[in-house]
A and B are shown apart, each in its own frame.
Chain A
Amino acid sequence: MNTRGLWIVASWEFRRYFKWKEQLVGLVLLLAGAFSSFFLVKWVEDREASEVALGVVGESGVEGSLEAARFVLHKEPDAERARAKVLGGELEGWIAADGSGAFALETRREVPWRGRLEEALSVGVQPECLAQVGLDTPGLAALLAPVPLEVRLLDPEARTTGRADKVAALLAVFLVLGGVVTGNAYLMMGITGEKQLRVTEQVLAAISPQTWIDGKVLGLAAMTLTSLALYTVGGTLALLAGRLVGFVVPMPASAADPVLVLGLFVIALLGFGFWFSLFAAVAATIDDPNHSARGIWMLLPGLPLAAAFGVFRDPESTAAVVLGLLPPTAPAVLPVRLVLGAAGPLEVLAAAALLVLSILALRRAAGRVFALGIEMRGKEPTWGEMYRALRRSRS
């Protein structure tokens, strides 16, 4: 193997697509969007929780619960006076109580505190309703309380997972597949575009097709991984910064497990290697992407995505274990099993070994097919020609 040539091509491809300035601008825009959303949500929540000047006409009997829910009550003699104050802006709304437990609300427009009002009214009238059926508030609480169930996991390697872990697993799947799809697009564009130019010939007059394909796959895998790492680190820093302003997102327990994080990193890297090698082979057969039927192969990464969603509900099923080992689906399924299931280091090693073997076979096939494609300038090699080329080079 020409390691020097491999390194030169890989670093060229990395620098070709990875632009620090653009990556940082993208990250800043993403974080700016996230923070803007956070502040918007917080503003709406604050607004919903703020004091509301509310007129009351009649005897409501629920003043206590309304005041507890931050309603400032104004007794009004009649509906006309109350309505005039609402229209004049002195009150945000007024309620009419007829003493039977039913209420009417009038406001100028839809208000964000309507849900809060309904809840406070319900709480206010609840004791009387309960009394009618022979219950009190503690009795109702006991009735509605869930049955206590203490869960004990006997497998020492098993982890309890919460909602944060599920979100983390989903994010891991999207990050890996996002990287695969983005990298594949770069690869397809790079290989087919350069084949149409003569720059490929210029490169291949200096190094072998195998070195060129290997360098491209390595450079793009490194580029995609760096990009994802940048976004992950940036996102984590943003979450930590968010805590300072009160935006607290629960961190998944899996984030604190270095072995699990390492496993995710290795599987993601090998997953990129697998898919990029496969797509390098596909792109090598395409002469002009605008007129080739082989572009349909770009849809293939949908397969592991579907598999990952399939195992989300039961990451311990036999299907999940098998899909977590198979090279095409492992990069998406194994992260789910690592975060939510009981996949251990041995499973990661087995999946990694299968991925490495597949990458070795695919990169070799990509190199052979690419060498054949270069010989057939202006035409796409047929499946038969590719098969013969692979057999010939094996013998």
Chain B
Amino acid sequence: MNRVPLLEARGLEKRYRTVLALAGLDLAVEPGQVVALLGPNGAGKSTALRLLLGLVRPDRGSIVWREDGVERAAPPPEWIGYLPEERGLFREAPVVRTVAHFARLRGMGAREARLAAERWLARLGLAERAQEKPDALSKGNQQKVQLAAALVHGPSFAVLDEPFSGLDPLNQELFLELVAETTAKGTGIVLSAHHLELVERAAHRLVILDRGRVRFDGTVAEARDAARAAGSTLELELLEDAPPAVRSQLEARVDVLAVHERADRAWTVELRPDADISAVLAHLGAGLRIARIASRTPSLHEFYVDLLGGASDGTAADARGGAA
């Protein structure tokens, strides 16, 4: 993408009384780019989002916003869209009024806001429920209304906090589609989420936080490369029980890290990153009758767990590839 960032944050630091919530976050978001903030609960994601939105002031660091060559320390309201994690709607007002109200606060005229709100609710399949109050809607539909409220005015930058929360698989797909449509128009997005398989599909860049510090900052491809560097895995399903010698011979190979055997004749073979897979396959084929075989590199989920797995006891090492 290599364009001038819409948003550039440098060295953001925030402390709540005695707790250091964020320690020196650098973040840049380009037009049309989706940056995902990941991390366990209490990692500092919400603090980072609240700092970007101007809801809290940083103790240290700066944020610069840019659009059409104009640089600002604080963005005008029409630049920004925000989807809070939950409960971001007025409970006593019909949802179409709430969406239109937020559109008006973001700079739209009354009539224009009303029409845009109706259009967005229709796009999200909620046209017939526009006059209902949020409590009458399911959690997933409330989340759809929140997305409408965040994007109704066509912002150039959006913050989506847990956008996939409460959505069924079909609506998750709809959200991914809308995120893609929005970024295609040049909107930059920062999102925070725990659904890593969806993040992997939506985001261009990942920033993984842990206890306020950045543990990984790179593209999704870099995260995959980093995951690959940890090795790959072969999944086997056997037609019959394997002779005992085959497993011990396999484990003796220098490019095999471990062999896990399950009761249903399914094996998982963990390989070193430099393993000669064809040689391993030849070895397996000589001693076993195989029904199915698959090679798999670690997913973002495994990369994340591997990266932060020891974090809770403070023993985790920093990220391997692309670490900040």
Contacts and interface: CB of A to CB of B under 8 A. Distances in A.
A203 interface: yes
B85 A8 contact: no
Give the residue among A198, A202, A204, A374 with the most B Cβ atoms within 10 A.
A202
Given A8-B105, A16-B92, A206-B80, A198 B87 contact: yes
Contacts of B77: 5, 205-207
Contacts of A119: none
A156 B289 CA distance: 118
Interface string A187-227: 00000001011110111111100000000000000000000
Interface in A360-386: 374-376
A202 B102 contact: yes
**Secondary structure call for the A interface:** helix
B50 interface: yes
B93 to A, nearest CB: 7
A2 B54 CA distance: 16
A198 B84 contact: yes
Contacts of B90: 16, 194, 199
Contacts, number: 64
A12 interface: yes
B105 A201 contact: no
Contacts of B159: 205
Given A205-B54, A376-B16, A8 B88 contact: no
A204 B55 contact: yes
A198 B142 CA distance: 13
Q: Interface residue tally of chain B, by bracket?
A: 20 to 34
Contact of A12 (B16, B86, B87, B101): B101
Nearest to A193: B91
Give the residue among A16, A196, A201, A204 with the most B Cβ atoms within 10 A.
A201
Contacts of A199: 84, 87-90
A197 B55 contact: no
Contacts of A16: 90, 92-93
B45 interface: no
B87 A205 contact: no
A206 B88 contact: no
Given A16-B93, A199-B89, A374 B56 contact: yes
B80 A205 contact: yes
Contacts of A5: 77, 105
Contacts of B82: 201-202, 205-206
B55 A374 contact: yes
Contacts of B91: 197
A203 B87 contact: no
Contacts of A202: 82, 84, 88-89, 102, 149
B15 to A, nearest CB: 11
Nearest to B53: A205
A201 B106 CA distance: 14
Contacts of A207: 77, 105
Nearest to B153: A206
A373 to B, nearest CB: 11
B104 interface: yes
B55 A205 contact: yes
Contact of A197 (B56, B87, B149): B87
Given A205-B53, A374-B55, A198 B86 contact: yes
A206 B106 contact: yes
Contacts of B89: 197, 199, 202
B57 to A, nearest CB: 7
Contacts of A205: 53-55, 77, 80, 82, 159
Nearest to B80: A205
Contacts of A194: 90
A238 B156 CA distance: 57
Nearest to B89: A199
B156 to A, nearest CB: 14
Contacts of B102: 202-203, 206
Contact of A201 (B57, B88, B92, B101): B88
A207 B77 CA distance: 7
Contacts of B93: 16
Given A16-B92, A199-B88, A206-B80, A375 B101 contact: no
B180 to A, nearest CB: 23
Interface string A9-43: 10010001000000000000000000000000000
A52 B251 CA distance: 120
Give the residue among B89, B90, B91, B159 with the most A Cβ atoms within 10 A.
B90
Interface in B1-20: 16
Give the residue among B55, B86, B93, B106 with the most A Cβ atoms within 10 A.
B55
Contacts of A196: 87
A204 B159 CA distance: 13
Contacts of A375: 16, 55-57
A376 B55 CA distance: 11
A74 B139 CA distance: 83
Contacts of A201: 50, 53, 55, 82, 84, 88
Contacts of B16: 375-376
B268 to A, nearest CB: 42
A5 B105 CA distance: 6
Contacts of B80: 205-206
Contacts of B101: 8, 12
Given A8-B101, A197-B88, A205-B82, 19 more contacts: A16-B92, A194-B90, A196-B87, A198-B85, A198-B86, A198-B87, A201-B84, A202-B82, A202-B84, A202-B88, A202-B89, A202-B149, A204-B55, A205-B54, A205-B159, A206-B77, A206-B80, A207-B105, A375-B55
27 contacts: A5-B105, A8-B104, A9-B105, A196-B87, A198-B86, A198-B88, A199-B90, A201-B53, A201-B55, A201-B82, A201-B84, A201-B88, A202-B82, A202-B149, A203-B105, A204-B53, A205-B53, A205-B80, A205-B159, A206-B77, A206-B102, A206-B105, A207-B77, A374-B56, A375-B55, A375-B56, A375-B57
The 6 residue pairs across chains A and B that have the minimum distance between CB atoms:
A198-B84, A206-B105, A197-B87, A206-B77, A205-B82, A205-B53
